[in-house]
Structure 1
Amino acid sequence: MCSCQQHAKPATETAAPASNAVAFQVEDMTCGHCAGRIKAAIESRLPGTSVTADPDSKRVSVLGSADHEAIKAAVTAAGYTPGL
């Protein structure tokens, strides 16, 4: 988990979640580096998903999978706490 300020850049993907996306909060996502780690963790565990992560709103959305347990496991394995 990253809580440093040196990575304090906005995430590259901050689009609003689609209506059929799984969306949740990750309160310990503090910067763009964190967002990138979460995005990569979900996409590697659930190929074919589209993930957006916004550290400013602490919101993550996943399009292409409604498997909450797999998403939660990916975020937890990356060192963060999903609010799922």
Structure 2
Amino acid sequence: DTVTYELKQGNKVVYVGTTNDPERREQQHREDGKKFGHMNVTSRRMTEDGAKKKETDRLATYRKNQGRNPKYNKDSDG
């Protein structure tokens, strides 16, 4: 079971990703030095493939609106 999530700094999305363990993943991001205020889980639990598709779609929407990926996303599929 996997979920999609966003890391946010205030109202700004700085990362979009997927994980099967949100608490662990949030801690990993903090240890990696990413600067963010909170993590929002943005989906229900689903298959890993379903979550990856949702992540890819969310990044495409973000790029359409902002002209680029969120600050910490390096490529188009998360």
**TM category, shorter:** 0.3 to 0.5
Higher helix share: 2
Higher strand share: 2
- Give the TM-score normalised by structure 2: 0.37
- Give the TM-score normalised by structure 1: 0.36
